[in-house]
Amino acid sequence: MTRKQKRLSVIAGALVFLGAATALTFYALGQKASYFYMPGDLQAATLQPGQRIRLGGLVENGSIVRGQGTQVEFGVTDSEKTVKVRYTGILPDLFREGQGVITEGSFGTDGEFVADSVLAKHDENYMPKEVADSLKAKGVWQETTQ
């Protein structure tokens, strides 16, 4: 092999290695992605059984039902549609009706959303960006001025 052929084979090997590393990285990231939906978006979505998603919106007024222990059921709404959510665990301190919330989980066999994490806004000025943008687009949520 000439010097030029050795150099080209090293460069080709490095490119193959970088391509394989990039492909594996994108594959791993794609497996962990959870897509964000509002309740009104779910009707048009094609979800696989057990697919993890993020469901965001406002906690529906009068929908919080506490069960035994730490089990809670509540509705997440975008004023068009409401999705019933079941969660077992400790809710954030600021979780309450009419507040922005993002839940992560998947739909159960009964069509109810089973969440394994619930995130609530942390002060009166904060709303998760995805939720705020979607609610603003629908004309439901208005920013408070101080």
Q: What is the DSSP string of 62-119?
A: T--EE-STTEEEEEEE-SS-EEEEEEESPPPTT--TTSEEEEEEEE-TTS-EEEEEEE
Q: How confident is the model at residue 17 (pLDDT cuts 50, 70, 90)?
A: very high
pTM reported for the whole predicted model: 0.63
Is-contact 132 141, C-beta < 8 A? yes
- Give the pLDDT mean for 80-94: 88
pLDDT tens, position by position, 52-62? 888 888 888 88
Instruction: Answer whether residue 137 shows pLDDT above 50.
Output: yes
Tokens of 118: 């619930």
Q: Is 37 annotated as a binding residue?
A: no
Which range, of 64-68, 113-117, 131-135, 140-144, averages the lowest pLDDT? 140-144
- Give the pLDDT mean for 71-83: 88
Which range, of 2-6, 17-21, 128-132, 139-143, averages the lowest pLDDT? 139-143
Pick the CATH number of 35-137 from 3.30.1280.10, 1.10.357.10, 2.40.50.140, 1.10.630.10: 2.40.50.140
Instruction: Answer whether residue 146 shows pLDDT above 50.
Output: no
Q: Is 126 annotated as a binding residue?
A: yes
